Amino acid sequence: MKRSRAAIGVALAAAFSAATTLTARGDEVGVSKDAILFGQAAALEGPSSVLGQHMRRGIVAAFTEINARGGVYGRKLQLISRDDGYDPDRSVAQTLRLVEDDKVFALIGAVGTPTAIATIPMTSARNIPFIGPFSGAEFLRDPELSNVVNIRASYSAETETLIKHLTEDRQFTRIGIFYQDDSFGRDGLAGVKNALARRGLELAAEGTFERNTRAVSAGWRTIKRAEPEAIVIVGTYGPSAEFIKLAHHNGAYPTFVNISFVGATALARELGPDGEGVIVSQVVPFPWDRSIKLVADYQAAQTALDPTTTPDFVSLEGYISGRLAAAALEKAGPNPTRAGLLDTINATGRFDISGSLVTVGARAGEAPPKVFLTVIQKDGTFKAVDRL
């Protein structure tokens, strides 16, 4: 039987209150003379594994770059990644392992909204930094969650950008949605409904699918009856690609738009020739634009780590998260603590990462993270666009 979110939170809080937060030497957990240990619980295997793997790749590239320059106050940044399969219960277990057994200093690069909902109680109970979650969920932006360090834009900002394009640039009025039937999908659903309501519109149709499946047929049958001009997709790359291909194979060619969590390059790869014209909103700079110093540094760091890798949006997001963690540690001083790191992040608010300003915490409201649109080209590459 599945436990309620409240029951899980109570159980975790009790477990953590009994746990020791300091090592025998009295040092901060996860900080030694020569290293600082970070932990990541994410999908590393299974149907959404590209998301976790690429976040990990970007973080490791950033840490390797920092370590090559001597680390932070002589300490090397290290990452332990554990596979949660994009499943909330497994994410709880793996995050517990990272905190209790591995004794990490901070968590970084977690993937997903339902997994974050399950693990946030444990991080908040201990005030463990939860840096750069790969999720735009609204609940993660609650000011009461002072240990959460968001880098990306919210799903509501992404859906507003998408709906603005569909209604104002394209003049569409019949818009449907296909979403993952869980907290992630419903967050996207709320964003789309609110963006439409601001324009005096309602959804033309909606369909759902179950997380970690490609069971999209029922959702397509529901949505196709409305003959929407455009469909917003809130899901990961596998079922999203399956849905688009199913529509095309049934002779339907509405405009498909996806929020960034889909994993854009993985989506394009899965779609092949069906990808041309599919739109994806993005929350990090264009990963192929080397005129941006942050992107050039990211590409160099990734190539130094593995010359066979290619740029993509997800690993760039991981890289930015890793660089921000390092920048915050530099500001926090030579004797880092979890509380001190979070105080530094929230007090600073704005970090210059290779010439690009990354705004976090309360300051994010003053300069919200940017959202822009990309479209998949015939050859599977991406084009950045302001107006399609």
pLDDT number for residue 3:
41
pLDDT number for residue 9:
43
- Indicate whether 8 pLDDT > 60: no
Non-local (6+) Cβ contacts of 234 within 8 A are 155, 177, 178, 179, 180, 184, 185, 187, 188, 189, 192, 258, 259, 261
Closest CA to 60 of 73, 48, 84, 44: 44
Non-local (6+) Cβ contacts of 261 within 8 A are 51, 134, 135, 136, 155, 184, 234, 236
Q: What pLDDT, in 10s, does the model give residues 73-110?
A: 999 999 999 999 999 999 999 999 999 999 999 999 99
User: Which tokens sit at 247?
Assistant: 């529509």
Q: What pLDDT, in 10s, does the model give residues 184-212?
A: 999 999 999 999 999 999 999 999 999 99
- Indicate whether 179 pLDDT > 70: yes
- Indicate whether 15 pLDDT > 60: no
> Is 364 or 197 the better-scoring residue by pLDDT?
197
pLDDT number for residue 186:
98
Return d(Cα 303, Cα 61) in angstroms, integer.
9
- Is residue 173 classed as helix, strand or coil in its secondary structure? coil
Average pLDDT over the chain reads 92
pLDDT band at 387 (very low <50, low <70, confident <90, very high): low
Q: What is the DSSP letter of 284?
A: S
pLDDT band at 366 (very low <50, low <70, confident <90, very high): confident
CA distance to 28, 37, 106, 227, 362, per residue, from 21 (Å): 8, 15, 13, 57, 27
- Indicate whether 5 pLDDT > 80: no
The reported pTM is 0.92
Q: What are phi and psi of 108, to 5 degrees?
A: -150, 145
pLDDT number for residue 17:
36
Return d(Cα 231, Cα 174) in angstroms, integer.
9
pLDDT number for residue 14:
39
pLDDT number for residue 26:
40
Return d(Cα 387, Cα 374) in angstroms, integer.
10
- Indicate whether 4 pLDDT > 90: no
pLDDT number for residue 281:
98
Options 2.60.40.1890, 3.30.70.20, 3.30.70.100, 3.40.50.2300; CATH of 35-153+288-354: 3.40.50.2300
Provide mean pLDDT across the span 284-307: 97
- Indicate whether 256 pLDDT > 60: yes
CATH architecture of the domain 155-282+372-384 equals: 3-Layer(aba) Sandwich (3.40)
pLDDT number for residue 369:
87
Structural domain boundaries in the chain:
35-153+288-354, 155-282+372-384
Q: Contact, 43 vs 111, CB < 8 A?
A: yes
Residue 336 has, within 13 A of its CA and on its CB side, a CA count of: 31
Same fold, 35-153+288-354 and 155-282+372-384: yes
pLDDT number for residue 361:
78
